[in-house]
Chains A and B, each alone.
Chain A
Amino acid sequence: MNLRLASRMAWRDWRSGELGLLLAALLVAIGTVTAISLFVDRLHQALLLESANFLAADRYIGGSRPIPDEFRRVARARGLDAADVLSFPSMVFAGDERNQLVAVKAVSEDYPLRGTLITGMEPFARGAPVDDVPAPGEIWIDSRLFPSLGLSLGDTVEVGMASLKVTRVLVKEPDRGGSFFDLGPRLLMNLIDVPATQVVQPGSRIGYRLLLRGPDAELEALREELGVEPDFRWVSIRESSPRIGAALDRAESFLLLGGLLAVLLAGVAVALSAHRYSRRHYDHVGILKTLGAGPAGILYGYLGILGVIGAISVALGLAAGGGLHLLVIEALDSLIPVELPLPSIRPFALGAATGLICALAFAMPPLVHLKNISPMRVIRRDLGAPPVSEWLTYGTAAAGSLTLLIWYSGSLMLTLWTLLGALTVLSVFGALAWLLLRGGRAIGMQAGSFLRLALSGLQRRHRENIAQILIFGLAIMLLLVLVLLRTALIDEWRSALPEDVPNHFLMNVTPDQLAPVNALLDRKTERQGPLYPMIRGRVVAVNDEDAQAIGPRRRRVRGFPRSATSRGRRRCLKTTSWWRGHGGARTTTGHWCPWRMSMRGNWALALATGWHSTSAAGPCRLRSPACAGLNGKASSRTSSSSFPRRH
């Protein structure tokens, strides 16, 4: 049998509706997988891109020392794009009496590697994207610096020892970040001008970043090669913003699981319809054999039909998947705040491969079996078909599912758990179905003749019936799991945030504003806790253990604050009394203590008390009575408060 005859036979079978079910099953398999993976792929890309915008790069190397040239050289050698960012707080002076502390960011020409700078020509107006950076001698500044320094465009300000001209209003830069200390008004300047400011001196607080952009594989290879830890930090979106990272992971695994279940279901559907198709063709094959078709011809013929159907369903399935995913996007439009990038080729490859594997693993065994049908069947109707090789059927089905699942999930564990769950359900349903059919026989004995007939019909084909019950059971189970998981995931996302978690923050309250602001807040809001000062510190030792040494364990000790301003801050600090001086701290001699001094001594003691006193409540979870040494400086003399979320 040649391909032409196979396609002719496929066409005739299709015409008589016999191939419809198989085609539909394959189509559903390919369409679903394509649609889901298209959606996941685009969402994934969008989230990555979005988060890359957040870093202004794909990865960066950060540290408090200058980035060695070596790093830049190696990155370039790997074909990666790199850009330099220097950030430091500095006072800027406009004229003689106006000055303001700003967060300076000095950038090289290529900045930003991801995302865009938005600037305007007028303070407090909407800006437009630009793709350059301030020219040497020029700076772009935040809108609010214009009134506070009494500036207008074209004026000159002093940053350190350099005089720089304000040429634009900086509306937004991608890596502005959520760190509290970056929230001072921003000043963007060219890296070339930094030496002239003479700000970079031993002891000055400067953050160095080498932004990187390029393919994931190269980036990871670079990370291996450089070994930047412990002097520098290697930062990807997952490290820089664990919340987004975790949400990304969860969303992905959920969609992935959905995809897995879709694959299993589709496989089952394909197997079912192929078996049905094959059973209906026993007589066909018998007749073809009497007409001179040999087993090989039958085999190639039906594989040819499968090939034709496979090719058609891949073509249609990919198109249907594409359409379906557009519908999904349409339906979820309000939930997806980002522009989705074009899909990669992978979802289509995945869809096509799913079709191929489904066809091979689930549909082929029953069709291969057709070649064993005896031509004697035509003249001796009582001659049944030889039994289908169970080894072949279940073996290929298992191998096919496994291949698909592993490839699709990229995770052996997830795959094994999914399969284990499916097997458990199958055995439970199997036992139930068997009992039901047996029980049915007992009932049938006493039942009326009509019911007895029906029941005996069920029993006569009990193997088939049990199989069908199993398959429907599995299908229902898979759908239920999906629904359950979806609800559970949403609940988990919701409950990840405490009921009254603040969602508004008031910052930069100066000491003389404290009393009126406090009064205002008490009157108008349900805020919890007092205002507290914002300081920046670094834990240098815990229980006399060097903080550097316990660094790697930091992730494990959840809630362990890397700096005094990180998570758990509010509860950690609110019961302490160490800022009774209202945003300032007075030394034992009663002097105003400038934040720039070393904070060992009193400070360390006070912080330790604070943590210790709340460790029982849990948020900080320092397990033993903790004593932390603190070494740091405050960047501004301000306080802040937070408000509970309103529901």
Chain B
Amino acid sequence: MEPCVIRASGIGKNVPTAEGRLVILDGIELEINAAESLAIVGASGSGKTTLLGILAGLDLPSAGTVCLAGREITALDEEQRARVRGEHVGFVFQTFQLLASLTALENVMLPAELRGDDDASESALELLRQVGLGERTGHYPRQLSGGEQQRVAIARAFASRPTVLFADEPTGNLDTGTGARIIELLFELNEAFATTLVLVTHDDRLAKRCGRVIELEAGRIRR
């Protein structure tokens, strides 16, 4: 595996608004190596989420290029970017984003099902056990607490054996204690799967656990 998993150069993002062009990101240069963990911090509105979306190939920048796992995703069409996401990217969100109509197990099985794997349930079960929810597989998200939902989301994120795991404020909706346990789990699995971790956070403890921290200010990297 080549050392550099993500290489972003000259990333700019601006959107048209009623008051003219709003510059959200400007001249971002970033390289992230395999198995590295990176925290993106910054004030609210500094462009963290926007940057994460661009790095993960969910969104396209207005300028610049992004390479992810050896593919220049900024040059791909939506269909191809989706394929790259399916193969290399896992997500954990602040609001969990489980499908409400699916049980915990089915949520974890989803990435494999989308890939067309047949025996999705075995490894999904194993993952649920790893996050400590082996007994709750048949429960729906609404029957689970916030922390439990986030654990299911983490299991789902690792279910696709991603190269990079992106997390946008994974503890933002949880109390301190639960958040701490989620952080433990995240890093544990990250280690076990040798995944590259990119996370956005306001949480200092979480940021400190990461190998590297960058701070955004008004769309630019401060350090």
Contact = CB atoms under 8 A, between A and B. Distances in A.
Contact of B168 (A297, A374, A379): A379
A580 interface: no
SS of B interface (majority): helix
Contacts of A374: 58-59
B101 A294 contact: no
B111 A291 contact: yes
B31 interface: no
Contacts of A293: 82, 86, 114
B154 to A, nearest CB: 14
Interface in A192-222: none
A297 B115 CA distance: 11
A294 B79 contact: yes
Interface residues of A, number: 30
B158 interface: no
Contact of B97 (A1, A16, A283): A283
B58 A288 contact: no
A239 interface: no
Interface in B3-28: none
Contacts of B101: 12-13, 15-16, 18
Contacts of B93: 378-379
A295 interface: yes
B188 interface: no
Contact of A292 (B52, B59, B95, B160): B160
A8 B91 contact: no
B190 interface: no
B114 A295 contact: no
B110 interface: yes
A284 B100 CA distance: 9
B106 A12 contact: yes
Nearest to A380: B49
A13 B97 CA distance: 17
Contact of B114 (A18, A284, A288): A288
Interface string B55-78: 010110000000000000000001
B99 interface: yes
Interface string B183-198: 0000000000000000
Contact residues on B (Cβ < 8 Å of other chain), bracket: 20 to 34
A297 B114 contact: yes
Interface in A254-312: 283-284, 286-297
B36 interface: no
Nearest to A13: B101
A5 interface: yes
Contacts of A15: 101
Given A16-B101, A18-B101, A378-B93, A291 B58 contact: no
Interface string B89-106: 101010101011110001
A16 B116 CA distance: 23
A286 B100 CA distance: 13
A297 B82 contact: yes
A354 B103 CA distance: 35
A376 interface: yes
A308 to B, nearest CB: 15
A375 interface: yes
Interface of B: 49-50, 52-53, 56, 58-59, 78-80, 82-83, 85-87, 89, 91, 93, 95, 97, 99-102, 106, 110-111, 113-116, 156, 160, 168
* Shortest beta-carbon contacts, A-B, top 5: A292-B86, A16-B101, A294-B82, A294-B79, A375-B58
Given A291-B85, A376-B53, 20 more contacts: A12-B102, A13-B101, A16-B101, A287-B99, A289-B85, A290-B56, A290-B58, A290-B85, A291-B86, A291-B114, A291-B156, A292-B87, A292-B111, A294-B78, A294-B83, A296-B79, A297-B114, A378-B91, A379-B58, A379-B93
